[in-house]
Structure 1
Amino acid sequence: MEENNLKNKKAFIILLSSQLLFLLLLLPWFLFAGLSVMMFDTPGSERDVTTLTIFFTILAYPLGVAVSILTSWIAYARSRYKAAYWCAGIPLFWVIPIALFWGYALLS
């Protein structure tokens, strides 16, 4: 007889699929991160706090994905499924604003 080691199959599938999506989004992130250095074309922009904040926020996406994966699986292992869902959504802080920006750019 086979033993099922999954604590919660639904949570497992949701966590795994969301994290695979965010890992796949690392591919376009490389292009996006490379192009983000163009924000510093204007003289003096390297001292602009807003530009620096946006730049370092873009660069932090892989760290956000890594933290999301680590914390969501820790919460899953402790049977804290709601916390695991919230932790799995950490990369949305990067994905949603970019999606809204692209949507606005395409519709205007």
Structure 2
Amino acid sequence: MRQLSGVIVDRGSKYAVSGGPARTRDEVDAFLKKLKKDKKFAKATHNTWAVLLEDGVPLKGDDGEAGAGMVILRMLEREDLRAHVIVVTRWFGGKHLGGDRFRHVQDCVRAYLDDLGNPQA
């Protein structure tokens, strides 16, 4: 499991991004379960995620952050990254971010993809 913490902080909300291999829905569920074993992630406001399975079937979960899973999914499709789940975690800071929350999700996924492409990371 690869994790990047403190990727973005805006108006009290904090974002992190995690990811790892997941070829099936069961593996996605196992990944999410493992992530949430860490109390910090279990207590997060949102753990939004998406994956393109090996056969190209898209799966996503908004976890209460409507539309965020689709943002992640579209980025995975553009990269043609399959069998790899990405989870963007948000801890709500008390102020609504409006449309900025989607930009933050995109920035988290971009940071993750950049880190994934860095073999020294």
Q: TM-score, normalised by structure 1?
A: 0.26
Report the structure number with the largest CA radius of gyration: 1
Structure showing the higher helix proportion among its residues: 1
Q: TM-score, normalised by structure 2?
A: 0.24
Structure showing the higher strand proportion among its residues: 2
